[in-house]
Amino acid sequence: MCLQECLAREKHPSNPNHHSRQCTDTVYMWKTRDVNSSLNGYTATRADTFQVVLTFRREKIHRGAFGCSRNIFWNKIISKLHLQLAKDFEKYGKIFKERLGPSTYMVYVSDPEDIATVFRKEGRYPVRGASLPLLDVYYKRTGKPLSLGMGDGKQWHDRRTTTQKKMLRPQAVQLYLSMQSQVTDDFMAYLQKMAEEKTELDIQAELVQYVMESIGTVCFNMRLNVLGAQLQHDAKERMFIQKNEELFALLGDYLFSLPFFKWFPTPLYARFEELYSFVLQFSADLVEKSLAKDAELRATEDSPQHFITDLVKDGESIETASDSAAALFIAGVESTSNSLAFLLYNLARNPDKQDKLRAEVTRVLPRDCHMTPEHLNRLPYMKACVKESMRLSFPVVLGATRILAEDAVLGGFLVPKGTCVINCNNASCLQSEYFPNPHAYSPERWMKEDNVQPHPYLLLPFGHGPRMCIGKRFAEQQMYIAISKLVQNFTIQHTGSEDIGITYTIFGKPDEPLGLTVTPRGD
């Protein structure tokens, strides 16, 4: 029985059909310890039920017109949703439910044991539940085949299977290490040159171009030549960066909004379609160039490594493989560049940690040497620095969401299958119960020598399980190389305002310019 039906009965206990079986169903929403006592006669009071936790603000909004007026304000709420969630957890405890529509609820959890349970109950083909409605409508309207990471069930699974072999297996990702290292070395040389010329740089903007170059090199096996380029206003590359950023902002804004655009093409939808068509076309042009270059290379080389043609060799059609490369490029740039920016910021604000990291890198990685898998294996503090930055500046607005494939006991409540549960790692990551002094940047928390290791389900910036982020290893590898080389060659300093917050679209980004400088090291 679905949650909506349970709730309908809960609302109408006088319903003549409301006999013991229905009671059993109804108590789904009751604390499990109350189940037996409430079975015979539905005795528990409402106060005993699954915490009723709508704040006045929420109550008012949720119970507004059609019971879902909160959706109208979603785009106002999302940017600081993490702060609201933190308050909610403080007020209601580690689990609460929230009305999404007239009879639809979402459940929010922050206890790592509950988060682990949700992943155990996600089923073979996990469904996120919080889809991206603008994208859904786009694909429905255009009739195009769904892109990588979209759709559900076997269709999603089949689409993802081949691609993830090239992306999630550590050995597969290591093949791209030398490409990413080369781009990183070029970035270092560029920063050095700019410093010598005393040119002031907007480090955040440079990071976006660097990540774009690096992910582009992996996806298309060719240089995009955006690294350090002075991009004119009307340069396509610059437009890609701007439009891609706006695209993700719109996707976030309309995650749970009232989807008027489903019924008629609103101006918002028109804007979305314009942005998405642009970034798709930009990526498709790169695919075309990449394939032409690959054909040339194949005439002279035995089997050059090439992301798209390698996927084709593994059984994907050329259209699907090309779409995968484009989708990864689009998803990868915005997400990784923001996480990297926060990592630099956190290290700049904590010079002692930066020095400690530098000492480790200096011990392991000779100055003019490309990063290898062996180097990466010997840099535990560097990995801890990355983790800790993602804890402090959680990179996505909602942790992984899942529709329960089975009933699950969460926080002592029996929550029925079919319920959308939001794993709020962004809240659990900042709770003092799990992380003493939670607002301090302390990579040592993640070091093995520290006796108490955090619960493994507390920090899941890339989600978890079969539906986890397909680009996780790429993104991590990207950040590992970048930060190692940066601290080895530069001192990163923070000159901006004291406490920079995070603002969310789909991804988190600094809510004001970070104010970072990098100064070459003489040693």
Closest separation between CB of residue 428 and ligand HEM, Å? 14
Residue 216 interacts with ligand HEM (CB under 6 A): yes or no: no
Burial group, residue 308, by CB count within 10 angstroms (0-12, 13-18, 19+): buried
Count of residues of this chain found to bind ligand HEM when the rule CB under 6 A is applied: 25
**Residue 314 · residue 485 · CB < 8 Å:** no
Residue 383 interacts with ligand HEM (CB under 6 A): yes or no: no
Strand 502-504 to strand 508-510: parallel, antiparallel, or no bridges (unpaired)? Answer: antiparallel
Calpha distance 240→234 (Å, rounded): 10
State which of residues 336, 350, 354, 393 lies at the interface with ligand HEM (CB under 6 A): 336
Which of 185, 195, 194, 229 has its CA nearest to residue 209? 229
Count of CB atoms situated within 10 Å of the CB of 186 = 16
Closest separation between CB of residue 387 and ligand HEM, Å? 12
Residue 175 interacts with ligand HEM (CB under 6 A): yes or no: no
Closest separation between CB of residue 49 and ligand HEM, Å? 29
137 versus 148: smaller Cβ distance to ligand HEM = 148
Across 294-426, where does the E strand assignment appear? Answer: 401-403, 408-410, 413-415, 420-423
151 versus 416: smaller Cβ distance to ligand HEM = 151
Residue 402's DSSP bridge partners are 421
Give kind and range of the element (H or E) at residue 519.
strand 516-520
Binding to ligand HEM by CB under 6 A, coded x per residue (else -) over 446-485, reads: ---------------xxxx--xxxxx--xx----------
State which of residues 204, 257, 335, 505 lies at the interface with ligand HEM (CB under 6 A): 335
Residue 331 interacts with ligand HEM (CB under 6 A): yes or no: yes
469 labeled part of a ligand binding site: yes
Residue 151 interacts with ligand HEM (CB under 6 A): yes or no: no
Closest separation between CB of residue 115 and ligand HEM, Å? 11
Tokens of 413: 């409540």
Length of the chain: 523
**Residue 472 · residue 172 · CB < 8 Å:** no
State which of residues 241, 308, 396, 500 lies at the interface with ligand HEM (CB under 6 A): 396
Calpha distance 320→163 (Å, rounded): 10
Closest separation between CB of residue 154 and ligand HEM, Å? 13
Tokens of 324: 């995968």
Binding site for ligand HEM (CB under 6 A): 128, 148-149, 160, 327-328, 331-332, 335-336, 339, 395-396, 400, 461-464, 467-471, 474-475
Binding residues: 469
